[in-house]
Amino acid sequence: MAARYFNWKLAIVLFVGIVVFAGAAFALRQWQRNTRAQEARPLCEQAYEQQVWDEAANQLGRYLAVEGDSVPHLLMYADAQLKRRPVTPSHYQQAVAAYRAVLRLENDHAEATSRLTELYLGMRAPGEAELIARPYLERHDDPNVSRMLGIALAQQGKPEEAEAHFSDLLREHPDEIAAKKPIVS
């Protein structure tokens, strides 16, 4: 019976060839993604300025797929998603994800906190609004976010806690009350 022979040189050459091919494919993919992102950046900013929300959201999505840590572009993306028409639940979810990404990058971002809390209240998710507003209010004094926290507490069926929160808000920021004096003639 003949002894089997294994060609080690061929195996090594094939292995090196596969590694080089895989490395080249990965490098080409990265180059294409970066090129598309750089092409999308001026297009997304132009579409956003012209208020073409569908195009702005699409181009911003392409840009953020590569540069996902750009806070100004994440805020623009969330805003564009919310202004698309017709509005779909997917647009809201994309905006929520963008605002959450901003808060992961900068947990004290006032605009993202305010907009995300307001968005959760509009989506009838007061528990989520509370989870966003409470930690922010522990570090900052923001009457707008504080007012939304009070609304979230009331929507959750916590009237005593909401009343106490609104009383504190009234005491600390009396100018934030949205009520007018009656006109006496």
> Do residue 130 and residue 57 come from a single domain?
no
Q: How far apart are the first and last CA of the chain?
A: 118
Residue 39's pLDDT is 81
Domain at 154, CATH number: 1.25.40.10
pLDDT at residue 154 greater than cutoff 60: yes
Residue 92 located in a structural domain: yes
pLDDT for the residue 35? 82
Is 117 in the same domain as 96? Answer: no
185 confidence band (pLDDT: 50, 70, 90)? very low
Alpha helices in the chain, H assignment, sequence order: 8-49, 53-64, 71-83, 89-105, 110-122, 126-139, 143-155, 159-172
What's the total number of domains in the chain?
2
Q: Tokens 């202004």: give the residue.
A: 83
Of the two residues 37 and 89, the one the predictor is more confident about is 89
Q: How far apart are CA 47 and CA 53, in angstroms?
A: 7
Tracing tokens 């305010």 back to the chain, one arrives at 114
Band of residue 22 on the pLDDT scale cut at 50, 70, 90? very high
For the entire predicted model, the pTM comes to: 0.78
The reply to whether 178 falls in a domain is no
Per the structure, the complete domain to which residue 121 belongs is given by 110-173
Among residues 75, 106, 137, the one where a domain terminates is 106
Say what the pLDDT of residue 179 is. 44
Nearest to 144 by CA among 112, 98, 176: 176
Residue 81 has pLDDT above 60, yes or no: yes
Q: 12 lies in a domain?
A: no
Residue at token pair 């509370």: 130
- Which of 86, 106, 126 terminates a domain? The answer is 106
Average pLDDT over the chain, rounded to an integer: 89
Do 102 and 114 fall within a single domain? no
Residue 145 CA, chain-centre distance (Å), reads 18
The 10s digit of each residue's pLDDT in 112-136 is 999 999 999 999 999 999 999 999 9
Q: Are residues 102 and 115 in the same domain?
A: no
In terms of Cα–Cα distance, which of 124, 126, 49 is closest to 92? 124
pLDDT at 2 > cutoff 80: no
Residue 83 has pLDDT above 90, yes or no: yes
Whether 100 and 154 map to the same domain: the answer is no
- End of a domain among 82, 106, 130? 106
**What is the rounded CA–CA span in Å between residue 131 and residue 49?**
33
One domain, residues 29 and 100: yes
Shared domain check, 164 and 118 = yes
Residues 143 and 100 in one domain: no
